[in-house]
């Protein structure tokens, strides 16, 4: 996949406006619906047998955001996306997509949304170009626009000049084609379920750059369990666990909340002695040994800790090699909310039949 | 281009580009070529079989074009029906299972259109295969024997086409219901075999689609056979099975 540029996605995003303008019930441009949140879920419940995959899920995805839907395996990400895509139904609760109710307006909603499932399936006999044309035809994209867009998306997906049948594609190639087909209608809402999970580092970087380039042009709602992906491209994140949203906020705000508790990293020649001495200090909330013997000291009083650590080091006659504050990461927030097991006890989110 | 048209074109293209183009048309074409030959060789085969069994005497009248057509019709009803429903049972279940259906149905194509288009295209392929086989059978029969009762033969094949429409609709229903392609195919095969068996019971056959099975043989032989009720029940059964398939699939989670 080539690096994404504005030029490459221009035809797609240009088309977004046109698609929007022609998608209102009376053929007029969308008005009220266009100002609504891209996705609104209220009290959505979904069970598979005795297991509750979504447990009163409330979620609001602001229009125009790049929204990360983060959670451990089994948290309910795929189930949520499948319900939004019209492939599954909630047991109770309401949802609106771009201001529309998918139950009464399903076809129109699907016309405004691009969707990539977690494990996309393709007709093995088709070529990538032919499949993109087919997808564009399903959306009713006019032929001249579609031809231009297919060329652009093949380039974006790094599949230009690939004449092999999709059946011969690697998983990464299929994933990139999956992203491309989700963009073929220039959707107002792009829903991607674990889009980078099957990609090598370069492919992952390219998909993330592509997603980042769509910021402000369309709403991107993508699920992932990869924290780094969310930190890299998302402006807003919802953290999901056991079918409930634990936290939803702009990433900066989440980090700021975490900053109420600061972390100092101290590297000394004898970390065990320092840990013992620091543990008894009033300003030290928590002390733990991080990588390579570096002490991670959590504190609510940063100034006191910044004074106290060097004093303690001097008193013990230790050699202070490094002392720095550690910026709170999304991982910290995630671990705080979900716990250190990261929901590993839950069944795999992608298990078919009883997906969560 | 409308979603329905795009999907229909893709389904037709899929047949051309996959094994489906060859299996049913190939099978029925093969039956068309070989049925008259087998009919012509039947006396020799019977004589050979009798020679293997001491004391056995089998007398077979000289074969005619009707025998060739009967042979073809028998193959059509048994193996042709079976292959048509087994393929039909896979058209939806396979795509749901491999994830293609999810990708397509997340787009503005209705599930009703999806089910009906898939059924219609498969039925069209079956009809074309039957035409191919019938044409081959008539041509070879004319070469070996004479053209024979062509109108009755075509009417008999027509009865089979109507019956297979019902069987394909039932296969579609099973394909829409069941997650496993194999289970759907097995269930569809059982339905086809059951219909064939019921045709042997006049009390049931005369008032059900199974009546078309026996009616096609009777038409070819020039015997009278009840047709109205079997045709009506077949049409009603086909519509009911398709409606059920649509309802089931619209409610199904993909």
Chain A CB within 8 Å of residue B108 CB:
yes
CATH 3.40.30.20 assigned to domain A6-255? The reply is: no
Distance from CA of B104 to the nearest CA of A (A): 8
Is B103 in Cβ contact with A120 (below 8 Å)? yes
In chain B, where are the structural domains located?
3-251
pLDDT of residue A258: 63
Tell me which residue in A121, A125, A143 faces B14 most closely, judged by beta carbons. A125
**Interface contact A115-B106, CB threshold 8 A:** yes
Contact A138 B7 (CB under 8 A): yes
Q: By the CB < 8 Å criterion, does B101 face chain A?
A: yes
User: Does the beta-carbon distance from B108 to A181 stay under 8 Å?
Assistant: no
Please, which residues bridge with residue B115 across strands? none
Q: What's residue A27's pLDDT?
A: 37
Question: What is the tens place of the pLDDT at every residue in B215-248?
Answer: 898 999 888 888 899 999 999 999 999 999 999 9
- pLDDT over threshold 90, residue B49: no
**What count of CB pairs under 8 Å joins A to B?**
78
pLDDT in tens, B167-215: 999 999 999 999 898 999 999 999 999 998 888 887 887 888 998 988 8
Task: Identify from B1, B4, B97, B107 which residue to disrupt to test chain A contact, counting A C-beta atoms within 10 A and taking the largest count.
Answer: B107
What is the DSSP track for B104-151?
A: HHTSS--HHHHHHHHHHHHHHHHHHHHHHHHHHHHHHHHHHS---SHH
The tens digit of pLDDT for each residue in A148-160 reads 999 999 988 889 8
Domain regions of chain A by residue span:
6-255, 260-326
pLDDT at A349: 45
For residues A250, A253, A257, A259, the Cα torsion angle rounded to the nearest 10 degrees is 120
* Mutation target vs A (from B14, B103, B110, B249; most A CBs, 10 A cutoff): B103
B110 touches chain A (CB under 8 A): yes
| Residues of chain A predicted below pLDDT 70 | 1-35, 257-260, 291, 327-332, 336, 338-356
- DSSP symbols for chain B: --HHHHHHHHHHHHHHHSTHHHHHHHHHHHHHHHHHHHHHHHHHHHHHHHHHSTT-----PPP-HHHHHHHHHHHIIIIIHHHHHHHHHHHHHHHHHHTHHHHHHTSS--HHHHHHHHHHHHHHHHHHHHHHHHHHHHHHHHHHS---SHHHHHHHHHHHHHHHHHHHHHHHHHHHH-S-HHHHHHHHHHHHHHHHHHTT-HHHHTTSTHHHHHHHHHHHHT-----HHHHHHHHHHHHHHHHHHHHHHHH---
Q: Give the H/E segment covering residue A310.
A: helix A302-316
> Is residue B117 pLDDT above 50, yes or no?
yes
Q: Within an 8 Å CB–CB cutoff, is residue B60 touching chain A? A: no
Give contacts of A107 with chain B, Cβ < 8 Å.
108, 110
Contacts of B9 in chain A (CB under 8 A): 137
pLDDT over 90 (residue B12): yes
pLDDT value at residue B226: 83
pLDDT for A32: 46
Looking at the domain A260-326, which fold is it?
Alpha-Beta Plaits (3.30.70)
User: Do residue B105 and residue A137 have CB atoms under 8 angstroms apart?
Assistant: no
pLDDT for A173 equals 87
């Amino acid at each position: 996949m080539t690096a994404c540029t504005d030029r490459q996605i221009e035809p797609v995003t240009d088309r977004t406006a046109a698609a929007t303008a022609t998608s209102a019930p009376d053929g007029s441009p969308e008005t009220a619906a266009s100002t609504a949140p891209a996705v609104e879920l209220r009290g959505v419940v979904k069970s598979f047998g005795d297991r509750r995959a979504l447990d009163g899920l409330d979620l609001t995805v602001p229009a125009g955001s790049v929204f990360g839907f983060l959670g451990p395996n089994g948290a309910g990400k795929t189930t949520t996306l499948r319900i939004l895509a019209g492939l599954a139904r909630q047991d109770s609760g309401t949802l609106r997509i771009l201001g529309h109710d998918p139950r009464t307006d399903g076809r129109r909603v699907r016309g405004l949304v691009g969707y990539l499932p977690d494990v996309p399936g393709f007709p093995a006999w088709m070529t990538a170009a032919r499949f993109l044309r087919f997808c564009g035809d399903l959306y009713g994209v006019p032929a001249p626009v579609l031809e231009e867009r297919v060329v652009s998306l093949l380039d974006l997906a790094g599949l230009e000049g690939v004449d092999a049948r999709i059946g011969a594609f690697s998983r990464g190639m299929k994933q990139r084609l999956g992203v491309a087909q989700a963009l073929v209608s220039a959707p107002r809402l792009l829903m991607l379920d674990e889009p980078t999970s099957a990609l090598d580092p370069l492919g992952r970087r390219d998909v993330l750059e592509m997603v980042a380039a769509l910021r402000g042009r369309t709403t991107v709602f993508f699920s992932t369990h990869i924290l780094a992906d969310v930190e890299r491209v998302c402006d807003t994140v919802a953290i999901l666990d056991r079918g409930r949203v634990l936290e939803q906020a702009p990433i900066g705000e989440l980090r700021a909340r975490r900053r109420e508790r600061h972390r100092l990293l101290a590297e000394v020649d004898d970390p065990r002695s320092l840990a013992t001495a620091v543990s008894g200090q009033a300003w030290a909330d928590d002390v733990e040994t991080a990588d390579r013997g570096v002490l991670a000291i959590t504190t609510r009083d940063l100034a006191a800790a910044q004074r106290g650590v060097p004093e303690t080091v001097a008193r013990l006659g230790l050699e202070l090699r490094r002392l720095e504050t550690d910026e709170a990461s999304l991982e910290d927030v995630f671990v705080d909310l979900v716990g250190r097991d990261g929901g590993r006890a839950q069944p795999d989110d992608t298990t078919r039949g009883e997906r969560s | 281009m409308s979603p329905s048209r795009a999907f229909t074109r893709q389904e037709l293209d899929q047949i051309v580009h996959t094994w489906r183009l060859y299996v049913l048309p190939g099978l029925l074409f093969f039956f068309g070529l070989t049925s008259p030959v087998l009919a012509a060789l039947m006396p020799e085969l019977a004589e050979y079989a009798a020679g293997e069994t001491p004391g056995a005497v089998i007398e077979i009248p000289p074969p005619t074009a009707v025998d060739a057509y009967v042979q073809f019709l028998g193959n059509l009803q048994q193996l042709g029906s079976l292959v048509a429903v087994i393929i039909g049972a896979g058209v939806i279940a396979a795509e749901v299972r491999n994830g293609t259906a999810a990708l397509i149905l997340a787009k503005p194509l209705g599930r009703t259109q999806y089910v009906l288009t898939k059924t219609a295209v498969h039925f069209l392929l079956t009809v074309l295969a039957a035409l191919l086989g019938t044409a081959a059978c008539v041509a070879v029969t004319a070469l070996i024997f004479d053209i024979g009762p062509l109108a009755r033969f075509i009417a008999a094949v027509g009865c089979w086409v109507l019956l297979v429409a019902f069987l394909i609709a039932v296969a579609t229903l099973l394909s829409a219901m069941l997650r496993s392609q194999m289970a759907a195919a097995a269930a569809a095969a059982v339905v086809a075999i059951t219909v064939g068996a019921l045709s042997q019971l006049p009390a049931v056959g005369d008032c059900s689609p199974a009546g078309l099975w026996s009616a096609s043989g009777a038409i070819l032989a020039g015997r009278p056979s009840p047709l109205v009720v079997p045709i009506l029940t077949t049409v009603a059964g086909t519509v009911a099975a398709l409606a059920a398939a649509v309802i089931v699939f619209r409610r199904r989670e993909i």
